[in-house]
Amino acid sequence: MTAVTPPPPSELTVVHVPVSDARVEPLLRELGDEYSVRYGKDAHAELACYPDEEFTAPLGGLLLLLLEHGEPVAGGAFRRYDETTAELKRIWTHSAHRRRGLARRVVSELEREAGARGYRRIYLTTGPRQPEARGLYLATGYTPLFDTAADPETIGPLPFEKRLPAQPPSGTHTRKAATA
């Protein structure tokens, strides 16, 4: 019997891009479509309510994409919340690429970059109809700022926070890394 060799790990490229980058649009469109279905109202307007400048320097923000073979498979962003806090926004994995740990990777990359830019705390909210996101943040060390025993629908947006360790400044904006 011949041993089956697993395929090599997929190579992901992490890129920092402006909101106007054409590779961002499909992810935001799918994100808006999914939120619209989950919450029963058009979510595209909410996604557009933040000016693009909030996700670019010098305001301290960042938009990050994970590319696989040049195509966006996941992404996310942060913006300045206050002097020491970055707020995570728009964490997303394309529906064809879920259950691969990509959202966890996006969150980790955003945390690393926020820490390198001097932020010491991450703040975020997720919706009550997004149990996958709630599970992700709990599993990655975020502290819920709400009663986890309460019905999420009675709370509204579910806030979380995480303290970041001090990090040296980052000098690279594009990296390649293998993922299993």
Query: What CATH number was assigned to the domain covering residues 10-170?
Result: 3.40.630.30
SS (H, E, C) 41-109: CCCHHHHCCCCHHHHCCCCCCEEEEEEECCEEEEEEEEEEEECCEEEEEEEEECHHHCCCCHHHHHHHH
Dump pLDDT digits (tens) for 110-163: 999 999 999 999 999 999 999 999 999 999 999 999 999 999 999 999 999 999
CA angle, 168 as apex, 53 and 23 as ends, to 5°?
35
Dump pLDDT digits (tens) for 49-69: 888 888 887 766 889 999 999
- Half-sphere exposure at residue 123, Cβ-oriented, CA atoms within 13 angstroms: 13
Q: How many CB atoms lie within 10 A of CB 166?
A: 8
Query: Taking the domains of the chain in order of start, what are their residue ranges?
Result: 10-170
Output the pTM of the full model: 0.84
Q: Residue 170 has what pLDDT?
A: 52
Amino acid at position 180, single letter: A
Dump pLDDT digits (tens) for 5-52: 444 456 899 999 988 899 999 888 999 999 999 999 998 888 888 888
pLDDT band at 168 (very low <50, low <70, confident <90, very high): low
Between 100 and 1, the more confident residue is 100
